[in-house]
Amino acid sequence: MESKHVNQQIAAMRQSFFDELEDQNNPNFVEEVFTMYFRDSTTLLETVEQAMKTISITLAKMDKILHQLKGSSASVGANKVLNEINKTRQVLEKGNLEGTKAGIWEMRKKYGSLKAKLEPYFQLKQANSVPQEK
Is the pLDDT reported for residue 132 higher than 70? no
How confident is the model over 86-120, as pLDDT tens digits? 999 999 999 888 898 899 999 999 999 999 998 88
Q: Dump pLDDT digits (tens) for 32-66.
A: 899 999 999 999 999 888 887 876 667 888 899 99
57-91 tens-digit pLDDT: 678 888 999 999 999 999 999 999 999 999 999 99
Q: Are the beta carbons of 129 and 29 closer than 8 angstroms?
A: no
Name the β-bridge partners of 23: 26
| Class of CATH domain 31-129 | mainly alpha
What pLDDT does residue 51 have? 81
Going by the DSSP 8-state scheme, the letter that residue 132 receives in this structure is: P
Domain ranges for the chain: 31-129
Rounded Cα–Cα distance for residues 124 and 101 (Å): 35
**pLDDT confidence of residue 134:** 44
CA–CA gap between residue 106 and residue 91 (Å, rounded) = 13
